[in-house]
Structures are given as structure tokens and as C-alpha cells.
Amino acid sequence: MEYRVIRSKRRTLSLSVERGGKLVVRAPLRISEKEIEAFVARHALWAQRKIERRSVLPTFCDGDTLSLLGRSYRIASGPTAIENETLFLPASDREAALIALLKKLARVRMQRLVDELCKAHRFTYAKLAITSARTRWGSCGSNGHISFTFRSSFLPDDLAMYLAVHELCHTRHMDHSAAFWREVEKILPDYAARRRALKSYQWAMDCL
């Protein structure tokens, strides 16, 4: 398995997979090549799975298509904007521009869904935030603060609704007990199917 080594003043070894499926090992300055090879070998299965996931990520190049909020757009160069079926992104700092756009889209949609659910089902919350989280789609704190990752913008509306319901139900049940899932089911009888469908969007966590 090929990999690139980056040495620095650190104490531990780590593995990461860059865009394009390139494996990178970050290592302490004095560690031997033999130790690095052994470390990579121990994590070979994880690395292969990660590389496979990375290899299917969108590239955000002109002419590519990208699905946002359940609609497909063709990418073209220009000031950041969505017009009809085209997503315009600048030629330079393209990913930064896309992240900024995704954060705006996520805030508008998730705020709308949360407010609609609060009105219909008498939920209350203290604050809504859009984060850059990679390990979870959303969260709810005991202080009533709920958050959603900007990567939720890659999801269609039915899955975004599931995220909103899930986190709002945590304002009443701060766990995943049977009572919590009953609360979710009262609003979304098909929540289990939506939850399964969400797994097919795990690639979004590796994007950007």
C-alpha cells in the first residue's frame, strides 16, 4: 500500500486519506520507517475502506453535477450563486466558497423545518447553529441548543426532516430510549426507513 509520510514534532502516528484517495501518514521526527510500515499494516483494512469512500467523492469541477437540497445542479465557473439548474463557483478557493454556500443553505432549510415542527408539535429550543461536524449530522444539548452540520445540505428534504425531528425529540428525551423513539415515530411513522437511507450519504462526511 502506497503512502506519503509527513514528519513533524508530534508524539503519535496517524493516518488520513486525502482527496483522490492518497494515503498520508503523519509521524514523529525520530520514528523508524519499520515502525511506520507496521503501523500502516495494522490499519490497512481501515485505510482501504477509507480510500474506497474517498474515490467516489465529488470533485466540484466544471461540468460535474452536485445534488443540493434534493436537486441536481451542473457546476460552472463564476461568482458563487445558484441559477436555475446551474451552481456557479469561483475558479479559485472553490471549496471555501462552496462551504460558505452550504452553510447558508443549511441554516435556511433547517431553521424552517425546526420552526415548522415547533409550531406543529409544541417543541421549544434555545438556539440553532450550523457546524462543520464530520462525525454526526446533528446534536442537542441539555441547554436546548441544537445544531446541524452544513453537510446536511447534501441531503434531500425527507432526510433533512428526519434530522430536525430527531434533534427536537432530544429536547424531551436526552437519550435514545424507547420513549425517545416513540416520540420520533409519532411525527415520522417511517423514521426507520429514513434512518437507513441516511447511511447512504455517509460520503458527505468526507467532503470538504
- Residue found under cell 437507513: 196
> For residues 89-111, b (16+ Cβ closer than 10 Å) or e, as one string?
beeeebeebbbebbbebbbebbe
* pTM of the model as a whole: 0.77
Q: Element (H or E) spanning 38, and its range?
A: helix 33-42
| Cβ neighbours for 204, distance < 8 A, ≥ 6 positions apart | 151, 154, 155
**Per-residue pLDDT tens digits for 175-202:** 999 999 999 999 999 999 999 999 989 8
Amino acid 134: pLDDT: 87
* Alpha carbon distance 104, 102 (integer Å): 5
Domains and CATH numbers, the chain: 4-55 (no CATH), 93-206 (3.30.2010.10)
* Alpha carbon distance 122, 125 (integer Å): 10
Band (pLDDT 50/70/90 cuts) for residue 51 is confident
